[in-house]
Structure 1
Amino acid sequence: MENVKEVLTKKSKRARMEQRGKLVSFLCIALIVLVVISIFYFVASRGLATFFVDKVNVFDFLFGTQWNPSAVGPDGQPLVGALPMILGSFFVTFLSAIVATPFAIGAAVFMVEISPRNGEKILQPVIELLVGIPSVVYGFIGLSVVVPAVRSVFGGTGFGILAGTFVLFIMILPTVTTMTVDALRAVPRHYREASLALGATRWQTIYKVVLRAAVPGILTAVVFGMARAFGEALAIQMVIGNAALMPTSLVTPASTLTSILTMGIGNTIMGTVQNNVLWSLALILLLMSLLFNIVIRFIGKKGALK
């Protein structure tokens, strides 16, 4: 009797394997959470040292227009105004997204609605190729082609927000296009069939039914592309000019948060004001990435409710 009870209460091999699988999954998730928390803590501790250790005013840092951490202003505070870099990052991000979105939607509509077979044969390999190109190659092409073209057409040195916009436009186009294709394919087929049955043309169906139903997915793709553009460092550094000045036009040298970071982080000593303010710029980048992810999740929830 005891043997029968022991056999019935003993966990089977599959149950033990399932328990081990759950344990391994939990450990992996815990490790990922720990790494993310550690990154946030490290960057925040370094970035906030600018305000708590070096006593830099937060508003002077966020809205100041002069960037020279080695110099001191009349008030005795270092000149660490980050507004030129913040504006430069936002300008190239929004402009590249504005330029890339129509091309991405057009390519996605062609691949899904107009010519799926040719789209898979022609556009899909091209998009995959663009995704795999390293950032330094984009930057070198921008330095060799885009900057001289901007200089010859618009004047100036060629370095600036406009050149950075063109480079980032090419870089985020594959991401936005791929996610837009997925959003269009996720639209139920009976939406198209019902529209055509009511007498709508193919273009009316695409514009008034398919694209409108895919709006949450398209917005997610655009925001994801903006997050990609906002965090790009090497390619934008090679074409924007890296001048920590308030942007006065699209064809004058400017800078972004990432370009100043990559140029200065290796030339400063840990713990100094010059190093701490760079970590503060990194903290802004991290918070903006978090904001982009929140926006993406918000759009996804809105789309799910519909």
Structure 2
Amino acid sequence: MDKKLQEQLLKKSKAAKLERLGRGVSFSALLLITLTVFAIILFVASKGLSTFFSNHVNFWDFLSGKSWNPSVTNSHGQPEVGALPMILGSFIVTILSAIIATPFAIGTAIFMTEISPRRGAAILQPVTELLVGIPSVVYGFIGLTVVVPAVRTVFGGSGFGIFSGTFVLFVMILPTVTSMTVDALKTVPRYYREAALALGATRWQMIYKVVLRAATPGILTAIVFGMARAFGEALAVQMVIGNAALVPTSLFAPASTLTSVLTTGIGNTVMGSMQNNALWSLALVLLVMSLIFNLVIRLIGRKGAMPK
């Protein structure tokens, strides 16, 4: 009898078995995600580096070259795979869209959290969620049928270019930056506001000198996150930027980005060819920049963590 009782006491309960199963499933999912990420990085890196090791293209010439025509060789017998026009185009549209979106996002977030939380939650929050859910091809089609003709009418030219791409990206990243800025403002403790008002500060002084300063790391994280999305956007930008692999000389001249060249060219090349390897090198640059954006976000978030 004592032996049976001892076995029952030592036997794992059903709850303990379920907990062990849950841990195993969670660890397996984490391991699968980690392996998938590393596999993607290794695959893109192996394909992208083939341009430099298999096709013997100079790395610096690739980054600083201004001519993109992989099927043509220059006077030195090297293929013309200068990625500088696409890199500049990607950075210009990303930075400009973030600069334009930031004031609108901060103003909307302040209205939703500090000025009129009820009305902001009732009106602006559904609008923000709706903008997030719209597919990028819809943004691109609207830009193609509305923004491009408007730019052509007002500024002349074809209407395709960095300005059109910037405007489309501004609308696309605005809800993302706004929602993250709202979350950043909500994390500021209430007693910060109460202390500022108790010291005689007006509401605008409290918002500007206390709330916004306390939420600065979160706002910076939102901006960088929006820039990361803008940098990696492909279809919408491709439809309005013009897809001309030229160094940008004007906001209204056709240009290209890393993603636009990738989406237009990857389906027209043969795997393992020089043209295909050059496109994978562009994908590698895009991947490295995305990793840098994520690293910056983590650093900002870590330094700006609120003390508990």
TM-score under structure 2 length normalisation: 0.98
State the alpha-carbon separation in 2 of the partners of residues 143 and 152 from structure 1. 13
Map 1:101-140 onto structure 2 (within 5 A): 101-140=102-141
State the alpha-carbon separation in 2 of the partners of residues 13 and 149 from structure 1. 67
Map 1:1-306 onto structure 2 (within 5 A): 1-304=2-305
> Aligned with 2:246: secondary structure?
coil
State the AA in 1 paired with 2:25: V
Gapped regions of structure 2 (runs ≥ 5):
none
State the AA in 1 paired with 2:181: T
State the alpha-carbon separation in 2 of the partners of residues 115 and 148 from structure 1. 37
Query: How far off its partner does 1:201 sit?
Result: 0.4
Deviation readout 1:81-122 (Å, 9 max, x if unpaired): 000000000000000000000000000000000011111111
Query: How far off its partner does 1:160 sit?
Result: 0.7
State the alpha-carbon separation in 2 of the partners of residues 29 and 129 from structure 1. 31
> Aligned with 1:304: secondary structure?
coil
> Aligned with 1:70: secondary structure?
strand
Deviation readout 1:35-84 (Å, 9 max, x if unpaired): 11111111111111111111111001011000000000001010000000
State the alpha-carbon separation in 1 of the partners of residues 306 and 100 from structure 2. 29
State the AA in 2 paired with 1:210: V
Query: How far off its partner does 1:305 sit?
Result: 6.5
Between 1:148-157 and 1:102-111, the stretch displaced more is 148-157
State the AA in 2 paired with 1:163: S
* Identity %, equivalent residues: 73
TM-score under structure 1 length normalisation: 0.98
State the AA in 2 paired with 1:116: P
State the alpha-carbon separation in 1 of the partners of residues 177 and 280 from structure 2. 30
State the AA in 1 paired with 2:189: P
State the AA in 2 paired with 1:142: G
Between 1:47-56 and 1:152-161, the stretch displaced more is 152-161
Between 1:220-229 and 1:33-42, the stretch displaced more is 33-42
State the AA in 1 paired with 2:35: L
Deviation readout 1:180-219 (Å, 9 max, x if unpaired): 0000011100000000000000000000000000001000
State the AA in 1 paired with 2:91: F
Deviation readout 1:229-262 (Å, 9 max, x if unpaired): 0000000001101000000111111000000000
